[in-house]
Amino acid sequence: MQSDRPSSSINRRVLISGMALLPALSGMPLGSTAQAQTTQDNTLASWNEGPAKQAILDFVKATTERASPSFVPPEERIATFDQDGTLWVEQPIYSQVIYCLDRVPAVVEKTPKLKSVEPFKTVLSGNREAIAKLSLHDLEKILAATLTGMSVEEFNAEAKKWLTAAKDARWKRLHTDLIYQPMLEVMQYLRANGFKTYIVTGGGQDFVRVYSERVYGVPVEQVVGTAGGTRFGYHKDGQPFLTKEPKLLLNDDKAGKPEGIHLMIGRRPYAAFGNSDGDRQMLEYTGTGDGARLMMLVLHDDAKREYAYGPAQGLPNSRVGTFTQALHDEAKKKSWTVISMKNDWRRIFPFDQNA
């Protein structure tokens, strides 16, 4: 969410501070996405043959075959995945920001005086152009108002309700349907080979936890995200509960990603997947370790099936997921693998059966 005009667009940094805010949901059943690949034939079925697929196969072979000089003991096998733009669609705007905007009417209903106060007034107007021009400071207010000040359970229930109802404008599908089938297959393949798969996202840790297990097969305790503090307190009947506070603990973007990995996991990953400048430090940190390491970046170069953006390939810039020329150069220099959606992915979404 970096832009040439930071004052009129949603900035990743700000978004993140606002997202420091959300709670967790336990006990969601494992969906079919959690099933491990068992046959070699079916491995990475949605990937075309090419250097990206080969890099994944080579890495798994190098780290899991006993005789390999770069064999990694199972307990050290950690793979981290950015979410927005790496596991699911981030255009035209992060799904969690839509959630926050959608929550504004409920917040105003609870606190009616906000009705005539900016930025809530503008959001309520429904004027898209005006909403798009909201300042960073305004967005911080919206994120704080919609993601904090309620119990963890209340937040979970609201987020869950929204996720099972709100539809994306282009595909008219749930946001959790707009996940990349090839990336699900990589996660499954790595898990089938003893890797623990973590999501390491600039998005809100508690928000992503609401659906991580069901959608990605990633348990809540393996979600690292931008995180806010909670406050332990008691209901009148003496029952304890946690309230989501507007206090940022972890800004899980850019340098915050390796910092968050250290805090929450405590091990350097062997594989890391991203798609933007926000993932650069995570890939650098991963690549600094000994032995075989896998660093991959998703390039959005498929306007027909998804989106095309990022200046590296002369594609239009974007308000989200900036894949800069500098990142492209670093990837080339350090032999990180760039995944071309257009060329490397036979199929984009699970619902896309035309592949």
Least Å distance, CB 299 to a copy of itself, is 23
- Please report, as residue ranges, which positions from 301 to 320 form the binding site for a copy of itself (by CB under 8 A): none
| Residue 191 to residues 64, 218, 331, Cα–Cα distance (Å) | 12, 10, 25
- Please report, as residue ranges, which positions from 254 to 273 form the binding site for a copy of itself (by CB under 8 A): 255-256, 258-259, 262-268
Least Å distance, CB 258 to a copy of itself, is 5
Name the residue nearer to a copy of itself (CB basis): 129 or 234.
Answer: 234
Task: Identify the CA nearest to 321 among candidates 307, 331, 339.
Answer: 307
For residue 206, state whether it binds a copy of itself (rule: CB under 8 A).
yes
Name the residue nearer to a copy of itself (CB basis): 6 or 289.
Answer: 289
CB 211 within 8 A of CB 24: no
For residue 138, state whether it binds a copy of itself (rule: CB under 8 A).
no
| Residue 76 to residues 45, 79, 255, 261, 309, Cα–Cα distance (Å) | 27, 10, 22, 14, 35
Alpha carbons 82 and 201: distance in angstroms, whole number: 5
Alpha carbons 253 and 203: distance in angstroms, whole number: 9
Which x/- pattern, by CB under 8 A, does the window 20-49 give for a copy of itself?
Answer: ---xxxxx-xx-------------------
- Please report, as residue ranges, which positions from 69 to 88 form the binding site for a copy of itself (by CB under 8 A): 73, 75-76
Single out the segment in contact with a copy of itself by CB under 8 A; choices: 49-57, 94-102, 109-117, 251-259: 251-259
Name the residue nearer to a copy of itself (CB basis): 265 or 315.
Answer: 265
- Please report, as residue ranges, which positions from 145 to 164 form the binding site for a copy of itself (by CB under 8 A): 152
Q: Is 29 exposed, middle or buried (0-12, 13-18, 19+ CB in 10 A)?
A: exposed
For residue 213, state whether it binds a copy of itself (rule: CB under 8 A).
yes
CB 269 within 8 A of CB 80: yes
For residue 326, state whether it binds a copy of itself (rule: CB under 8 A).
no
Strands lying side by side in the sheet with 271-274: 240-250, 223-234, 196-204, 78-81, 271-274, 294-299, 337-340
Name the residue nearer to a copy of itself (CB basis): 57 or 255.
Answer: 255
For residue 240, state whether it binds a copy of itself (rule: CB under 8 A).
yes
Among 12, 53, 103, 209, binds a copy of itself (CB under 8 A): 209
Q: Is 223 exposed, middle or buried (0-12, 13-18, 19+ CB in 10 A)?
A: buried
Least Å distance, CB 256 to a copy of itself, is 8
Alpha carbons 235 and 167: distance in angstroms, whole number: 36
How is residue 289 written in tokens?
């370790």
274: left (phi over 0), alpha (psi -120 to 50) or beta: beta
For residue 134, state whether it binds a copy of itself (rule: CB under 8 A).
no
Number of other CB atoms surrounding residue 351 within 10 Å: 12
For residue 229, state whether it binds a copy of itself (rule: CB under 8 A).
yes
Q: Which residues make up the interface to a copy of itself (CB under 8 A)?
A: 23-27, 29-30, 73, 75-76, 152, 196, 205-206, 209, 213, 219-221, 223, 227, 229-232, 239-242, 249-250, 255-256, 258-259, 262-268, 281, 284-285, 288
